[in-house]
Structure 1
Amino acid sequence: MSCFPSLPNKADFQRLQEEVKSALPSITSLSSISHWHLPEVLANCLPESLSHANRTEQCVLQKMKQDFASMIASYLQQPITRWPFFVFLGGAMFCLLASSTCHLLSCHSEILSYIMLRVDYAGIAVLITTSFYPPVYYSFMCNPFFRNMYLSVITLMGIATTLVSLLPVFQNPEFRTFRASLFFGMGVSGIAPILHKLILYKDEPAALYTTAYEVAMGVFYGLGALVYALRIPEKWKPGKFDIAGNSHQLFHVLVVIAAYTHYRAGLIYLQWRDAKGC
């Protein structure tokens, strides 16, 4: 204001400043707005009008109004909800805690070993289920129908798989294929929302980055399951990996890497939706 005393509509601008101060008490002074680079603005405004100061002042004022509006919009924009991301983190922690508790207590007695093994399987079902929440919720945040449909399907499948893992009646050998099919179906069902996301947002870099992370997550989970099922490497040298380096330990390492990969994808989802909303 002191540099350009003849700014047009100076009184209106001052009134706007006072209104913003009263509406947003944390903004105490317009001098705190550090992104108004007047030298750059003047460099763009002066060359064609060195002899016409009023045009230069109008140009500067227009730039200030635009930056001021952008600053207010950024200030008022609230970050999107975080609960789907926290649901995934809680599911991952529950799975790893259940597995650790199973390994710690399963040697206590036969009955406790049986119970803890069931809890361990339930933890795996919880991890798979909650892993769907960030990608599904944030990918279809602006499409409530598909968001609710995908979340409902995976939640129901997760509840069914958890019950099958915990209830004694389903532990009989004749239900082994049924139990394996439920876990396999939960994992494969993630392909549908990922492909749907790529169709809707094929031009969004965030959609491609998150898909790359999700593919890497699937590779780590699959590799861990393969190592565990084939008993690699102890089947090649029996007795050499009884203490360290056996398939079960490698399986857990790969699961942690996969969960961390999914965590990194979740951060990209949050940044994407915070910046663009719907």
Structure 2
Amino acid sequence: MDGENHTSEDSELISETIEKLPSSVSREGKGKRLWNKVKYQLVEFNSLPAYLRDNEFILGHYRPEWPLKQVLLSVFSIHNETLNVWTHLIGFFLFLSLTIYTAMKVPKVVDIHSLQLPEVLKADLHKLQECLPSLPNMPDLHKLSGELKSTLPSIDLLPSFSRWHVMDLLYNCLPERFSHSNQTDVCVLRSMKEDVANLIAPLMLRPITRWPFFAFLGGAMFCLLASSTCHLLSCHSERLTYIMLRLDYAGIAALISTSFYPPVYYSFMCNPFFCNLYLGFITLLGVATILVSLLPVFQNPEFRTIRASLFLGMGLSGVAPILHKLILFWHQPEALHTTGYEVLMGVFYGIGALIYATRIPERWMPGKFDIAGHSHQLFHVLVVAGAYTHYQAGLVYLKWRDLEGCRGN
């Protein structure tokens, strides 16, 4: 009723204003603009249709059933969903940038400078790099590396071999034209064969597959973009709200399930049984959670705690593979390092879910946190923090497995 009275008073005010306009054309155009200005004002919780009533402790600044154009433009205006939209939209662009950075830079991290090689080998390689321009008739290293990969046995890790061992492996594989050389130079080491062996050795390092890491990054971006879109568009209509909420929950399930891919794959890549077991379990659980989230009955506000508990339970299912990893690799500092990141990620997600379910702090002071500081905004910030923490853990996994391979498993 309050909403109807408010609209009636506004209409009377507009009518009085229109009567004072000098001409009918002017009155019609200006009257329409005034009506739109009133029509798209923010309203209070009691004026909302039932499907938009989600948090009774946020009392005002709602956008009720606005046209799609005004809804899209509201991304740049102030209302109670503004920070919900931007916290995850900025998070999406953050992870998009991290994905591009990872694709372009991370495979190059494992190079000769980052390896723990003997100092004498580092010195030789550095010396070779300095004098490369003066070495005549240098081979096409990429082509040569391809020839070697087809003839050499698999080499998992360069640091486990001395430079003499590498040269011995290369001895019968180098093309004949590199076996002898009459060229001399002050920068050339004792033999061209040793130079080429030392130069080719780093090319034989093959980074492990990156798909589990990129699956996590994709899940994070999908979750953040779906959430941001949901908070922006859900006020348009009941049907769009229905669709957006399901997309939002699907994104959360995708983030949680794909977050397990890097730790499970890189921890158990040398134990295919456990790797497939854990990956299969979390994938099935993620799909099941998405399907349950799509059921209409679970979208009602009274099921908020059940939804939060379901997603929290899916997150806790990662305890088993983490404990298993610690048992297998208790002597590896990387195992402890990554576990620390994963525990911190779990803390961020857990606190976020608790704040979301209990509606703190707005339940303590209704109406005081309508624009900024309410539970959903805090939840969004903690989700981005947790996902970024997991990204850092993924970098540790990549470097660990690139350098260690399956040794010590």
What TM-score comes out, normalization by structure 1 length?
0.73
- Structure-2 separation of matches of 1:267 and 1:189: 22
- Structure-2 separation of matches of 1:214 and 1:223: 14
2:369 is aligned, of 215, 218, 241, to 241
Per-residue CA deviations over 1:198-234 (Å, capped at 9, x if unaligned) read 1111111111100000000000001111111121111
1:268 is aligned, of 383, 396, 403, to 396
Question: 1:71 Cα deviation (Å)?
Answer: 5.2
- Structure-1 separation of matches of 2:393 and 2:400: 11
2:327 corresponds in structure 1 to 199
Question: 1:184 Cα deviation (Å)?
Answer: 3.5
Cα separation, partners in 2 of 1:123 and 1:145, compared to 1, 3 Å: same
1:142 is aligned, of 270, 274, 285, to 270
Unaligned stretches of 5+ in structure 1? 1-19, 28-59
Residue 235 of structure 2 corresponds to residue 107 of structure 1: yes
- Structure-1 separation of matches of 2:320 and 2:332: 18
Question: 1:122 Cα deviation (Å)?
Answer: 1.1
2:65 corresponds in structure 1 to none
Contact preservation (8 Å) 1:129, 1:158: yes
The one-letter code matched in structure 2 to 1:105 is L
Contact preservation (8 Å) 2:312, 2:350: no
Residue 348 of structure 2 corresponds to residue 224 of structure 1: no
- Structure-1 separation of matches of 2:291 and 2:307: 10
1:36 corresponds in structure 2 to none
- Structure-1 separation of matches of 2:228 and 2:141: 52
- Structure-2 separation of matches of 1:273 and 1:266: 11
Cα separation, partners in 2 of 1:21 and 1:214, compared to 1, 3 Å: same
Per-residue CA deviations over 1:104-160 (Å, capped at 9, x if unaligned) read 110001121122111111111111110000000000111111101100000011111
1:79 corresponds in structure 2 to 207
Higher relative contact order (CA 8 A, sep 6+): 2
Cα separation, partners in 2 of 1:176 and 1:229, compared to 1, 3 Å: closer
Per-residue CA deviations over 1:36-73 (Å, capped at 9, x if unaligned) read xxxxxxxxxxxxxxxxxxxxxxxx969x96x9766543
Question: 1:268 Cα deviation (Å)?
Answer: 0.5
Give the number of aligned pairs.
227
Unaligned stretches of 5+ in structure 2? 1-137, 146-188
Contact preservation (8 Å) 1:102, 1:117: yes
The one-letter code matched in structure 2 to 1:85 is F
Residue 244 of structure 2 corresponds to residue 116 of structure 1: yes
> By percentage of residues, which structure has more helix?
1
1:213 corresponds in structure 2 to 341
- Structure-1 separation of matches of 2:351 and 2:297: 30
Contact preservation (8 Å) 1:157, 1:182: no
Question: 1:175 Cα deviation (Å)?
Answer: 8.3
Pair member with larger Rg: 2
Question: 1:183 Cα deviation (Å)?
Answer: 2.4
Identity among equivalent pairs (%)? 74
The one-letter code matched in structure 1 to 2:233 is L
